[in-house]
Structure 1
């Protein structure tokens, strides 16, 4: 497809246009992105931190972004997917980039790509970095979309790379073992560049690749670690700047300390380029936020949102549900994409759910409520399940059925959480 004679008008039109550019939503490989990157002259003029991993990428990016922001740096952050607005994916100084700025960036990529057919994510990645290149940044944090080695983000050279965790997800593209997936994620490492791994049991493939390319590998449990205390935690590493107690991140879950430790390891190795002090770290951990990660949007009854969409993330969700008190029953508003490991997710959380309100997702990849019902009943024959044609209808019914001491957990997909966020907690004022 060639450049249209008239450019799209407005962000919605641009997003519709770039979604139709490539026949596939996912097309692994860096050739197309590299070609357009060179035409755009997107040289790395500020330190870049690349964050890959099965889970924990968003939390890690958010902590890095906030800590460097508190230290007075102008920070760009590129993350995906979004929940309500595409603008959530591209932030500068902890603020979403405007529609006009996104449209200008899209136009720059469109003029440069000529006949190269970019995927939606590839186009968006180049546009985000084009904006960053013109925004006077001090540092950019880039979240990998899928895998690492062949992800569009990986065309940029990092000052530091992080792999948060390795588990089973996107097997159609990354392989069906942790060893295959670990190799793909290790592809964000570079020779003689700091490479942080926050997985307690990294696959041999990740270790081998890091050794072969002579990456400066730092492993949690070997080179750095953490110690949880009743009201605080400590990051443990030789020569670290954080030699005092730190506040727990303002993101729920014990696993967040692993993410926060990887963040600290990155901050340590980048101190010569991006010095921060303990006050900046404390402020950053206190002020960090991330939508849809065990996020509470209402109380009495309590409503929680969690985008958990693979078994590893569901295991973390189960831990959060177990550690938070609920005097009544827990109702799950549950919808997932059909190409995800639905049985694996259900198995992780089933013991913590008293009633399932399963729903269709208005997406071509969405599983039907009847499929979800069948899977839940296979795993837990005595489960209580109600089926709905939409997430909104499931949520509204749950709001009518829920008692004051009950809680609602919305989970299974970014789409599921986004639908409830769009509905807003205003439903509760009518309950």
Structure 2
């Protein structure tokens, strides 16, 4: 085969190339990416767990991975976006894949696609599944990027399809109400394939679509639950009962729904997987996912949370108010301009004493000046900085031990701060 310009690309060169190939960051639709997958012969030969939803997808994937790890399975997990390194999106047995492996499989996609255009996300999706097939994983966990019905992940047929929650986000693509958004998320359901929804108020559109196509749908609070029993939890559903179970290591009451969804999904993969009490206990205790109410200790506690829509901000605010500090709560904040920034500020303002903002260095990033204006309009104390690392530097120089710092607003914001703090070590 003749050489191409991409034969010896580094990972950064590949990522730049993908963005140059397709100027649209998002282009929903399955026809293009399915044609390339067919040319590559990408057909998973193991169970595929597919996770859609507005919030909670990453946490659910993490619970699944931790429980499967304890059971000894070889697991491939595909999630997005990443915090610091692109490699974080594709995990093999809990480890990010190497640059070499990514580049090898990007090259396979490039040789297969011909003149078919692909978005960077579509490149990533094909790359993940190609790697998982080559590495012969026992099970794949695939997180939907946006929506579900027209997301690239949906070219693969799930063994179990999950919807975590329905909130208002990506309105320009999915709609501005829970019914329309729910229908898009339910697009990952398939006839005669187990479907699960952990939203406590499941939109009627999800119920209707599952019935229309003949997908057996199980619901949180009706078919499965994870109930607080004082100092332990109890899972019930599908004729089984697991207890005592510890509270999840991930903070927030909503994480019980994500954990229950993971348990329920693994029960639906039977007989391929035999779930045990010990594996659930391990998964709940050992689960970890960066940037989900992640606590770091420096001069004072630092909480990292990628909340980027009002529902996520509401949960973050609830967690902060439930764990007060004697000092101040100081926020480092940066969001993407296509998000509901005012709605997020509204949810957080009651839990924050002082705000610090800066430009978010992303094509979709909001300016610090705009964030400052929105926050000041709410009557809050806010300072603008030249950069997000500069904001953290100044805040670290001012806080006391009884204060806490919260970093939130987007994956980009949290990732930049994580990288900055790593450099300080």
TM range, smaller chain: over 0.9
Q: Distance in 1 between matches of 2:96 and 2:422?
A: 23
Question: 1:153 is paired with a residue of what secondary structure?
Answer: helix
Counterpart of 1:385 (choices 382, 385, 390) is 382
Q: Distance in 1 between matches of 2:397 and 2:94?
A: 37
Q: Distance in 2 between matches of 1:238 and 1:343?
A: 42
In the other structure, the counterpart of 1:304 is 303
Say if 1:402 and 1:134 are closer, same or farther in 2 by CA, change over 3 A.
same
Question: 2:50 is paired with a residue of what secondary structure?
Answer: strand
> Is the 2:44–2:129 Cα contact (8 Å) retained in structure 1?
no
> Is the 1:8–1:14 Cα contact (8 Å) retained in structure 2?
no
Q: Distance in 2 between matches of 1:414 and 1:258?
A: 22
- Are 1:405 and 2:406 counterparts? no
Structure 1 residue 239 displacement after superposition = 1.3
Count of residue pairs the alignment pairs up: 424
Q: Distance in 2 between matches of 1:32 and 1:298?
A: 46
In the other structure, the counterpart of 1:39 is 39
- Are 1:103 and 2:103 counterparts? yes
Structure 1 residue 425 displacement after superposition = 5.7
- Are 1:396 and 2:381 counterparts? no
- Are 1:28 and 2:28 counterparts? yes
> Is the 1:297–1:425 Cα contact (8 Å) retained in structure 2?
no
Q: Distance in 1 between matches of 2:169 and 2:8?
A: 35
Q: Distance in 2 between matches of 1:145 and 1:48?
A: 16
Q: How does 1:224-243 map to 2 (within 5 A)?
A: 224-240=224-240, 242-243=241-242
Structure 1 residue 43 displacement after superposition = 1.1
Runs of 4 or more, structure 1, over 6 Å off, are none
Q: How does 1:158-173 map to 2 (within 5 A)?
A: 158-173=158-173
> Is the 1:300–1:405 Cα contact (8 Å) retained in structure 2?
no
Q: Distance in 2 between matches of 1:52 and 1:8?
A: 35
Q: How does 1:11-160 map to 2 (within 5 A)?
A: 11-160=11-160
* CA-to-aligned-CA distance 1:319-346 (integer Å, 9 cap, x gap): 1101113110100001111111001000
* CA-to-aligned-CA distance 1:191-213 (integer Å, 9 cap, x gap): 01100000011111111101100
Contiguous gaps of at least 5 residues in structure 1 = none
> Is the 1:197–1:262 Cα contact (8 Å) retained in structure 2?
yes
Q: Distance in 2 between matches of 1:225 and 1:278?
A: 15
Q: Distance in 2 between matches of 1:358 and 1:117?
A: 37
In the other structure, the counterpart of 1:315 is 314
In the other structure, the counterpart of 2:417 is 420
Q: Distance in 1 between matches of 2:422 and 2:118?
A: 38
Q: Distance in 1 between matches of 2:125 and 2:238?
A: 36
Structure 1 residue 66 displacement after superposition = 1.2
- Are 1:351 and 2:354 counterparts? no
Structure 1 residue 370 displacement after superposition = 1.5
> Is the 1:335–1:413 Cα contact (8 Å) retained in structure 2?
yes
Structure 1 residue 300 displacement after superposition = 4.7
Q: TM-score, normalised by structure 2?
A: 0.97
Q: Distance in 1 between matches of 2:396 and 2:229?
A: 37
Question: 2:371 is paired with a residue of what secondary structure?
Answer: helix
Structure 1 residue 373 displacement after superposition = 1.5
